Structure 1
């Protein structure tokens, strides 16, 4: 039997398949080499590229400090984002975001107040926060007027804070424009609160701002301009007589009841505070003779009705009490202890006289203690 001849076509197919397998393997190896080479070149380039970068081109998020020169900035909104924008605009900090981060990291930062400041430029954000908390960097001044102060006290305080004479302040009073309803002068119209005074602000501007603030407060309570002064008179008496918020409402009710006529005193208010104001005395210095002194229209033991003008700058609390006093039939009250502020109210004249006796007893003991304290001080000085 003859042997078969070789299949040339099959051999050619196997050879072609082998070549394709080799090609695929070579391409795969080449691909791996290309990827590896790309990674190697990329890594090297990332290492070498920064050597050619200009550091000045990098965005600055916070200055290294400590800062240089100085710039005036005005903070009108104490929210951290608003402060950050002001400081960034003035080039005190590099970014508002850096300031906000520093603000949130400082537990005292909430103490930053609105006002004018003088600060270095290009500070670290954390240093900027600390600088705003330092009173030495305040370019403005703070004028604080406590409720119940008289015009004379306010004038003296303005002179002290603004570095002028009291005569200068009194001269500036003539430049103040009083609002509608202010018929008794400026007393009572200088609203009692804290004011930030800018470096370039004048005395007459400060005084006008205080008067305007009073109008703003009264307008917030919808007080008719024709009723403004009457309300301030009542509120100033309330402010001078008691300190407890509830007592203030009761005193305001006593004033209304007295003005409407109480049985044995009629419309006589009989307020020691008004007598003391008219005589320019402290309440504790009043004598029985003072209560019958008719030389001043502020003596409400002698003259019926309200005094001619407010006797101090009342607080918003006293204004509210005078606007809406609680219901009650009290016609009398006495603060029986001026140190603790204990005040008693009644509609009984007999009980009222007993309460007045309690006050006189306290006053006598208080005066003796004051006299003994003065004698001890004198002895210490002599010793």
Structure 2
């Protein structure tokens, strides 16, 4: 029995070394997995740290210009508390953005930073209405107050003068006098000086037609002389831009001024320019322009007030009698009229009549009988408006 017991015991205990080895192998595998997991965790953490750093750096590059007025690092938008002191003149140029204006204000210490002004500019819905010009502001203003000041006309230290197309020189003098707070006589005196010493030689000493129709920005200390010179300069600039030879400039200005004065509808300017050329070329047989506008200028009255006797009187500006162009322009031409004269359409029109001045409807024709019919239509319109003055003739081209 003992031998049998010993054999049975020995047989059951023999696998013990194999189980121990298996446990050790399993433990080593678990430790290897843990080490691998720790490595993966460390790599993931490192990648996350690098990603966060890159995001923060990129955000700082984008944000720093908005929160720093001088390009130096700044954690917040810096702004003066205001209200500001002293006086600073600032020029806002045409086409400048809020950021452009901000740079000018920072350079002159009106606001603390570009970021503060841009933020205030974007917050104020009216800021886009800030006009080009010269403004008197204060040093070290609150950015929101600076925006409000630029929107306040009282802050403007310059003026604008608008000259519509077709205005004669005397009317322009009146507007300049009103803007500068001086008399029309003072402006007329300045005009005479400009005509004598500043006008191009081809103007022949006549300033009429050389005061370009446009809007001008002037300073509060501007003089009538400087304003008139500015207008002459713009005329010369427009002629230079179109490569007009000196000997052709006065003629171009005369024609352009007539085109503007004859019809209100700018779409008809080109056709009127063609009629002028056809008339000068002799389509009527006598080389006369027959334009009411020229004689109205010469007599300083509106065409319907010109009497039959006056129409039959020879006068340098009576283009119904005197062939060719009048001696000077009859108003201030603009760019549109210059281009109309330089590029008239092809056509044989010799006459035109604005049959309805209210709507501006103008009819063009090469046939004289049709022209007479168009005159009749004009007279009908005139009769509907008011009785025509005694001994006058209807307007025509």
Cα displacement string for residues 74-133 of structure 1 (whole angstroms, at most 9, x for unaligned residues): 223541233212211222111123222322333322222221111122222222122111
Structure 1 residues 257 and 174: CA distance shift in structure 2, 3 A = same
- CA displacement at 1:235 relative to structure 2: 0.4
Q: Which residues in structure 2 correspond to 1:12-31 (within 5 Å)? A: none
**Is residue 187–residue 312 contact of structure 1 (8 Å, CA) maintained in 2?**
yes
2:295 alignment counterpart = 275
**Could you tell me how far apart the structure 2 residues matched to 1:256 and 1:313 are?**
20
Relative to structure 2, which stretch is displaced further, 102-111 or 79-88? 102-111
**Could you tell me how far apart the structure 1 residues matched to 2:122 and 2:308 are?**
61
- CA displacement at 1:59 relative to structure 2: 7.6
Q: 2:384 aligns with which of 365, 378, 382?
A: 365
1:298 alignment counterpart = 317
2:350 alignment counterpart = 331
Q: 1:64 aligns with which of 77, 81, 99?
A: 81
**Could you tell me how far apart the structure 1 residues matched to 2:386 and 2:113 are?**
62
Structure 1 residues 250 and 84: CA distance shift in structure 2, 3 A = same
Q: 1:97 aligns with which of 91, 96, 115?
A: 115
Q: 1:148 aligns with which of 138, 142, 166?
A: 166
Structure 1 gap ranges (5+): 1-56, 371-383
**Is residue 199–residue 205 contact of structure 2 (8 Å, CA) maintained in 1?**
no
Structure 1 residues 60 and 97: CA distance shift in structure 2, 3 A = closer
The answer to whether the aligner puts 1:345 opposite 2:360 as a matched pair is no
**Is residue 180–residue 220 contact of structure 2 (8 Å, CA) maintained in 1?**
no
SS at match of 1:181: helix
1:19 alignment counterpart = none
Q: Report the TM-score, using the length of structure 1 for normalisation.
A: 0.77
The answer to whether the aligner puts 1:240 opposite 2:261 as a matched pair is yes
- CA displacement at 1:70 relative to structure 2: 2.7
- CA displacement at 1:154 relative to structure 2: 0.3
**Could you tell me how far apart the structure 1 residues matched to 2:328 and 2:169 are?**
12
Structure 1 residues 197 and 312: CA distance shift in structure 2, 3 A = same
Cα displacement string for residues 42-97 of structure 1 (whole angstroms, at most 9, x for unaligned residues): xxxxxxxxxxxxxxx99862222333333222223541233212211222111123
- CA displacement at 1:204 relative to structure 2: 0.5
SS at match of 2:203: coil
Structure 2 gap ranges (5+): 1-73, 390-397
Structure 1 residues 81 and 215: CA distance shift in structure 2, 3 A = same
Relative to structure 2, which stretch is displaced further, 315-324 or 114-123? 114-123
**Is residue 77–residue 115 contact of structure 2 (8 Å, CA) maintained in 1?**
no
Q: 1:230 aligns with which of 251, 259, 269?
A: 251
**Could you tell me how far apart the structure 2 residues matched to 1:171 and 1:139 are?**
26
Q: 1:210 aligns with which of 231, 234, 241?
A: 231
**Could you tell me how far apart the structure 1 residues matched to 2:388 and 2:351 are?**
28
Q: 1:313 aligns with which of 332, 335, 346?
A: 332
**Is residue 168–residue 208 contact of structure 2 (8 Å, CA) maintained in 1?**
yes
**Could you tell me how far apart the structure 2 residues matched to 1:352 and 1:77 are?**
47
**Is residue 284–residue 363 contact of structure 1 (8 Å, CA) maintained in 2?**
no
1:285 alignment counterpart = 305
Cα displacement string for residues 210-231 of structure 1 (whole angstroms, at most 9, x for unaligned residues): 0000010111111111111100
Q: Report the TM-score, using the length of structure 2 for normalisation.
A: 0.74
Relative to structure 2, which stretch is displaced further, 131-140 or 116-125? 116-125
